């Protein structure tokens, strides 16, 4: 089974939304994980709201720091704005998605970010 790790700084917005889409779209065929370099205390409430609008619940997830164990358990690592704080392990496929951070943005902008993430996740899953 393939695995994808979505990484951003706080593991509270972009990576949580991407993981939510990937879990939903892959229907258990792909291991989906997420993490951050500086995890927040909770998932961004606006990210939770915009995902709930489309029927995906990410409220029960907790931001976590990425670990070597997480990195070693996947084939693909998708980074989203964590720059040099994101790790690199040879032999993994790395993708960097230049996405705006939804933190502090109005809900209309977070919806746009959500929709961009959905398109990217769809494309990624068709490539696996």
User: For position 1, what pLDDT does the model report?
Assistant: 60
Residue 108 host element (H or E)? helix 107-127
| Domain 3-121, CATH class in plain words | alpha beta
* 104 pLDDT above the threshold of 70: yes
Distance CA 95, CA 57 (A): 25
Summary mean pLDDT of the chain: 92
Residues taking part in catalysis: 8, 82, 86
Confidence of residue 90 (pLDDT cuts 50, 70, 90): confident
The mean per-residue pLDDT over the stretch 94-119 comes to: 95
pLDDT in tens, 45-88: 999 999 999 999 999 999 999 888 888 899 999 999 876 667 67
């Amino acid at each position: 089974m393939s695995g994808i790790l979505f990484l951003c700084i706080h593991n509270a917005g972009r990576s949580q939304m991407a993981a939510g889409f990937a879990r939903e779209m892959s229907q258990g065929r792909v291991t989906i994980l997420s993490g951050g370099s500086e995890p927040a205390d909770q998932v961004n409430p606006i990210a939770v709201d915009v995902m709930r609008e489309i029927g995906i619940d990410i409220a029960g997830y907790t931001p976590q720091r990425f670990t070597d164990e997480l990195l070693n358990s996947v084939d693909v690592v998708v980074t989203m704005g964590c720059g040099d704080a994101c790790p690199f392990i040879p032999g993994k496929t790395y993708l960097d998605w230049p996405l705006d951070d939804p933190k502090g943005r109005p809900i209309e902008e977070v919806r746009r970010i959500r929709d961009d993430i959905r398109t990217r996740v769809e494309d990624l899953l068709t490539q696996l």
